[in-house]
Amino acid sequence: MRVLAIETSCDDTCAAVVEGGNAVLSNVRKAQTAHANWGGVVPELAARQHAADWRGVVEAALAAAQTTMEGIDQIVVSVAPGLMGSLLVGVQAAMHLGALWSIPVQPVHHIWGHVASVCLGRNPSEIKLPALCLTISGGHTQLLKIDNWTTAKMVAETRDDACGEAFDKVAKMLGLTYPGGPVVSQLAKAGNPETYTLPHPLRGQLDFSFSGLKAAVYRHLQGVDEITETVQKDICAAFQVMVVEVFTKRIEAVFDLHPDAQQLWFVGGVSANTQLRDALENLCAQHQKELLLPVDFAYCTDNAAMMAAAAWHQKDAVKLQIAPMQPNPKLSMDVADLASVFVTVA
């Protein structure tokens, strides 16, 4: 089955063509640059830009896969969570193409897309359930237990900000570019993590918290005369070290609580972070677990190919309807809830 997937939940306009849930024929992502001036995503700007870009991105994905709409069996679209305006554009685009070409449209939850990103480019036999899945992005920080492809159990989650958002805010405080993750990670490699002491939030618990860590960075910066390059590097190093400590401590505890999980999947935008990858690789080796990362960095950040992978696993559990769809940013990951996005017209 050949799928055209559309993903517009935040600030990237994405389209992909995927065969059989794991063979990526194309994966096009148009990042929106306008938000850089604001240090974060501006929802209204994001929706407008998606509306301007989706058609070109879909055409590029079809062309790169050397196909046309006639070669597509199924359309897949993210319906939750995310920014309502952004989701609406993707859903409208998918419904429009579906109606025009008489192709069914399958709704998918964005976080299931991140979870399924480990399947892209891999032989299905490499994926072993149950697994633990650490999903860290700009909007989410969750540790999930995946027993099957329709229900995910929350093992731990952030009580306030997402870890990626904290990377972005630390970068903003230091006068660095958006998104902050890549630049903070890079500068951290040249800094001294001991110059500044940061607190370990919710030490001894499974849940995460990042707002106190951001506030601690802010307080340190109040105490410096000038944000020099050395200050930038040392703050980034201290922050990066604490992020590694936060995740490794919790995952070690979770390995003991869920001995049946053989694999740890590490997905979402922050899974591009090399320091975290290395630390989790070591931790998994010590506990005889296997670490699975998306095979390509392009599958870590938001992309449409991962939505096709999730849809592939869930296709028998979602009853498709010929009805308009309304995205719902608050939808749970329970696949049964996807039925609620179809709007019944009286």
Q: Which residues bind ligand KG4 (CB under 6 A)?
A: 10, 137-139, 164-165, 167-168, 179-182, 185, 268-270, 272-273, 301-302
Q: Give yes or no for residue 13 binding Zn ion (CB under 5 A).
A: no
Q: Is the dihedral of CA 89, 95, 97, 103 positive or negative?
A: positive
Integer Cα distance of 13 and 178 in angstroms:
17
The token pair that represents 22 in the structure block = 């794991």
CB of 108 to Zn ion, least distance (A): 12
Query: E strand or H helix at 33, and its extent?
Result: none
CB of 124 to Zn ion, least distance (A): 23
Q: Give yes or no for residue 302 binding Zn ion (CB under 5 A).
A: yes
Residue 232 interacts with, from ligand KG4, Zn ion, none (CB under 5-8 Å by kind):
none
Stretch that binds Zn ion, among 117-125, 137-145, 191-199, 231-239 (CB under 5 A): 137-145
Integer Cα distance of 314 and 261 in angstroms:
21
CB of 334 to ligand KG4, least distance (A): 20
Do 314 and 131 touch, CB atoms closer than 8 A? no
Binders of Zn ion among residues 146 to 165 (CB under 5 A) are: none
C-alpha dist (Å) from residue 6 to 96, 139, 162 = 12, 19, 24
Residue 7 interacts with, from Zn ion, ligand KG4, none (CB under 5-8 Å by kind):
none
Residue 180 interacts with, from ligand KG4, Zn ion, none (CB under 5-8 Å by kind):
ligand KG4
Residue 81 interacts with, from ligand KG4, Zn ion, none (CB under 5-8 Å by kind):
none
Residue 167 interacts with, from Zn ion, ligand KG4, none (CB under 5-8 Å by kind):
ligand KG4
Give 123-126's long-range contacts (Cβ < 8 A, gap of 24+): 123/22, 124/21, 124/22, 126/292
Q: Which is nearer to Zn ion, 234 or 302 (CB)?
A: 302
β-sheet bridge partners, residue 28: 15
β-sheet bridge partners, residue 146: 131, 152
List 49, 137, 158, 263, residue binding Zn ion (CB under 5 A):
137
CB of 300 to Zn ion, least distance (A): 9
Q: Which is nearer to ligand KG4, 107 or 179 (CB)?
A: 179
Do 17 and 25 touch, CB atoms closer than 8 A? yes
Q: Give yes or no for residue 303 binding Zn ion (CB under 5 A).
A: no
Q: Which is nearer to ligand KG4, 69 or 241 (CB)?
A: 241
Sheet (strand 290-292) strand order: 152-157, 141-146, 131-136, 263-267, 290-292
Classify strands 105-109 and 74-80 as parallel, antiparallel or unpaired: parallel
Q: Which is nearer to ligand KG4, 8 or 301 (CB)?
A: 301
Q: Which is nearer to ligand KG4, 72 or 244 (CB)?
A: 244
- Residues near Zn ion, by CB under 5 A: 137, 302
